[in-house]
């Protein structure tokens, strides 16, 4: 009996150890895609949308490239953003906007810059002009703009929509981006990221206009603009499916375990006018919802962009403002992923296969200094993903359904051990009952 109990304990202790020691092969991953490589010893491999959607580790450790003998190649994870950033401080220049112009009337705009003043007359006026604006003089910038962070004293508990536009003559403007800034409490920072992505826009020779409504004219006093000589990597957009519209004001979805999108895009599909929305998230169902970002979706306009935060949330809710009627039909949801690229040592035999999607895969990346013996540039290998339409399933609770085989085996061994110990106790009590009693 002691031997049997010891055997059970040994089984419990070693359960799953074999799975951890067994090397992972291509068939252990959710997605396999062919890779066409040139003759270079080191080649760059950019993950296509299907591979980005299949990643199941936040650290991207479940990325592998296998050769013809199912041997993993040596990989290094390449930096995801621009290699060199320069931050330029810009002072806000007061910019007087026209107020409610009548159709066909001309507008006189005055730009005050210290003791210098510029007056521009234009017939191109928008009837929906914001209340306040400032100019940022970006004419001398010679590098593409990556992002901008405004020095903004946003009022507490008052959403302020800020729009950015660029122009060279102060009379014609090209819209760049829009973001809702919100300060939840006095002394607290802005909700989500206060940074606005500019995507490598070339601002040299032009002004950047920052405009807003619903806040004092002195709200924006300056900005920090990040530039880079390197191309700005574009985010990859993947359609989301399976979200649930609980009612016209609430849309719920859950990210698969390990998925790491950076932003959510919400587009109106019905005829609902303007619907202010906010994004809330939580790590698990037993935790309270925490606000992450605010935006407004407009009929006939492009999707609103909401940042998902630091990655701690897995469950999300898009909540429409109760002042509106909400959504008449399910809005379109798209997830944005930061581009991922690896450098592979093509030391095996073709054909090669990119493998992604295995939560149990330990990270196996080399450092760049370990892998690279000569400076780049390196040739680009091609991942053959046949141009398929990619969707990521965000159905509620889908990521929590089912149990891993190793967990099932562990519970089976534990239950077996309890039964063995119960049987041993039963035999012991029976043996004591069968002994003759002393008079």
More confident residue, 83 or 224: 224
For 275-304, what is each residue's pLDDT tens digit? 999 999 999 999 999 999 999 999 999 999
Nearest of 264, 388, 234 to residue 332 by alpha carbon: 264
In CATH terms, are 86-227 and 236-337 the same topology? yes
Strands 236-241 and 391-393: parallel
CATH 3.30.420.40 fits 236-337, yes or no: no
Bridge partners for 181 per DSSP: 160
Phi, psi of 26, rounded to the nearest 5 degrees: -55, -35
Which pair of tokens denotes residue 358?
Answer: 């295995």
Per-residue pLDDT at 413: 66
Between strands 220-227 and 382-383, the pairing is: unpaired
- Positive or negative, the Cα torsion across 114, 223, 172, 85? positive
Supply the CATH classification number for the domain 86-227.
2.60.120
pLDDT value of residue 232: 78
Give the model confidence (pLDDT) of 169-189 as tens digits. 888 899 999 999 998 888 778
Domain definitions of the chain by residue range:
2-80+339-400, 86-227, 236-337
More confident call, 17 vs 152: 152
pLDDT at 303: 94
Measured from the Cβ of residue 102, the count of other Cβ atoms closer than 10 Å reads 7
Percentage of the chain beyond pLDDT 70 is 78
pLDDT digits (tens, 9 = 90+) for 203-262: 999 999 999 988 999 999 999 999 988 877 889 999 999 999 999 999 999 999 889 899
């Amino acid at each position: 009996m002691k031997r049997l109990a010891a055997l059970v304990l040994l089984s419990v202790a070693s359960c799953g150890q074999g799975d951890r020691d067994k090397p992972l092969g291509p068939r252990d991953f959710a997605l396999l895609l062919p890779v066409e490589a040139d003759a270079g010893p080191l080649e760059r491999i950019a993950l296509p949308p299907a591979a980005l959607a299949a990643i199941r580790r936040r650290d991207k450790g479940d990325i592998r490239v296998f050769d013809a003998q199912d041997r993993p190649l040596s990989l290094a994870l390449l930096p995801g953003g621009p290699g060199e950033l320069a931050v330029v401080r810009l002072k806000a220049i007061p910019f007087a906007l026209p107020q409610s112009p009548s159709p066909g009337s001309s507008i006189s705009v005055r730009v005050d810059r210290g003791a210098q003043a510029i007056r521009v007359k234009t017939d191109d006026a928008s009837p929906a002009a914001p209340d306040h604006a400032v100019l940022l003089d970006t004419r001398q910038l010679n590098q593409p703009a990556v992002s901008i962070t405004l020095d903004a004293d946003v009022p507490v508990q008052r959403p302020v929509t800020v729009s950015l536009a660029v122009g060279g003559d102060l009379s014609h403007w090209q819209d760049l981006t829009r973001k809702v800034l919100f300060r939840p409490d006095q002394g607290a920072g802005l909700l989500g990221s206060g940074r606005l992505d500019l995507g490598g826009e070339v601002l040299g020779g032009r002004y950047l206009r920052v405009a807003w409504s619903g806040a004092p004219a002195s709200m924006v006093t300056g900005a920090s603009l990040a530039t880079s000589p390197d191309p700005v990597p574009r985010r990859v957009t993947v359609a989301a499916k399976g979200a649930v519209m609980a009612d016209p004001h609430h849309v719920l979805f859950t990210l698969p375990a390990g998925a790491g999108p950076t932003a959510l895009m919400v587009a109106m599909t019905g005829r609902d006018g303007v619907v202010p929305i906010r994004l809330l998230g939580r790590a698990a169902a037993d935790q309270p919802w925490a606000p992450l970002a605010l935006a407004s979706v407009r009929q006939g306009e492009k999707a609103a962009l909401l940042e998902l935060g630091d990655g701690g949330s897995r469950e999300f809710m898009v909540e429409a403002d109760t002042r509106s009627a909400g959504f008449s039909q399910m809005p379109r949801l798209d997830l944005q992923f930061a581009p991922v690229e690896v450098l592979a040592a093509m030391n095996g035999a073709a054909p090669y296969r990119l493998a992604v999607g295995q939560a149990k895969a330990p990270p196996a990346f080399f450092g760049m200094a370990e892998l690279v013996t000569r400076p780049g540039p390196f040739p680009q290998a091609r991942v053959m993903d046949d141009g398929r339409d990619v969707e990521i399933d965000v159905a509620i609770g889908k990521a929590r359904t089912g149990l891993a085989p190793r967990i099932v085996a562990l519970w089976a061994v534990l239950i077996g051990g309890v039964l063995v110990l119960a049987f041993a106790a039963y035999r012991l009590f029976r043996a004591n009952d069968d002994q003759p009693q002393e008079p």
